[in-house]
Structure 1
């Protein structure tokens, strides 16, 4: 029974992991507030989540800030690009909506394209955190990996979707989600992504 409270005990490890998720969650929310830094914040979170998942020793907040500093420029460039494209699509949607919805072929083609893009975007910031590469190569690898490892891509999508829907469907758990939800989602995704990336390290 006393082993539960030892540094290698299950209860100690569970509480330690919960503490890490709380800190990670807080750091992500804090660094996402300027909005333009969301890409860098996600990248730093994934870089830190890799170390947590691999049980590597680190001072969590120091590792997070290190990851944020190292990957700030490439992650922010891609994030601003995503924002620009997303904004363009949003304003163009009223002009093409009738054509897309009125034609079954174009509708299904657009749905397939949107699905592929969303799956590829799941890999962009984790890739920046894991590998030193050009922006073009990162985007290309994100697309290739998302399709090559489609089951993992779908699971990650499900985790992300659950992270978005749970506080809406279960508002009574919103406070708990606010404290650990984002950190937990990124930690789970980090474990899944790391399993993929280890094959290419």
Structure 2
């Protein structure tokens, strides 16, 4: 087998790797204003969902189309998530700096709650990119899909932890891993998300997940 043949596994892997690096750069660039983080990650998943299904066209053009189409709702979702993250941070901060009874139990409960919020959050921007819905509808459906697909939701959580594990055992990767992980981890997660979302694509009734893609 010709290693450098266009259709060889090696060539396809290298092309995907280049795509992931380009998407990482675009996402980081669009995250710089901070307020646009939601739109940036919605656009990232807009492209990744097409990429995993082998229906993507131009990566750059598709990314900026996804960014434009999801800007308003993606930004609103990000603001809501940022508030929740801040509140959780303050809870842990107060727990660490203010003497409380049963602080260990409270810390465990906060960790469990944080893990569940992260699990639901794993669906927020992909849902925004895939399905047409209101902001509240996206949050509600993300919660329901997370609960109804709990094993896959736990797997998504484990995938998110992969960079931390790699950094723990290979600290030298700190120079490039965070950059590549911006799109690489969502790409791995999208392999699972596509199988989850495809279960709901036929639904097209009011109040249900729409099969209409953006």
Q: So what's the TM-score if we normalise by structure 2?
A: 0.82
Structure 1 counterpart of 2:48: 49
More helix by share: 1
Structure 2 counterpart of 1:133: 133
How many Å separate the matches in 1 of 2:178 and 2:113? 32
Q: How far does the alpha carbon of each residue in 1:3-60 deviate from its partner, in whole angstroms, 9 at most, with x for none? A: x333222222122111111111111111112221111111111111111111114100
1:81 aligns with 2:88: no
1:14 aligns with 2:24: no
Could you tell me whether the CA contact under 8 Å between 2:43 and 2:63 is conserved in 1? yes
Tell me whether 161-170 or 13-22 shows the greater mean CA deviation. 161-170
1:71 aligns with 2:78: no
Structure 1 counterpart of 2:157: 157
Structure 2 counterpart of 1:62: 61
Tell me whether 172-181 or 64-73 shows the greater mean CA deviation. 172-181
How many Å separate the matches in 1 of 2:19 and 2:101? 45
Shift of 1:168: 5.0
Shift of 1:197: 0.2
In structure 1, stretches of 5+ residues that fail to align are none
Q: So what's the TM-score if we normalise by structure 1?
A: 0.87
Change (3 A) 1:111 1:16: closer
Change (3 A) 1:166 1:108: closer
How many Å separate the matches in 1 of 2:90 and 2:155? 31
Structure 1 counterpart of 2:208: none
Structure 1 counterpart of 2:207: none
Q: How far does the alpha carbon of each residue in 1:86-125 deviate from its partner, in whole angstroms, 9 at most, with x for none? A: 3244345555664474474x55554443332221111111
How many Å separate the matches in 2 of 1:81 and 1:30? 22
How many Å separate the matches in 1 of 2:167 and 2:30? 21
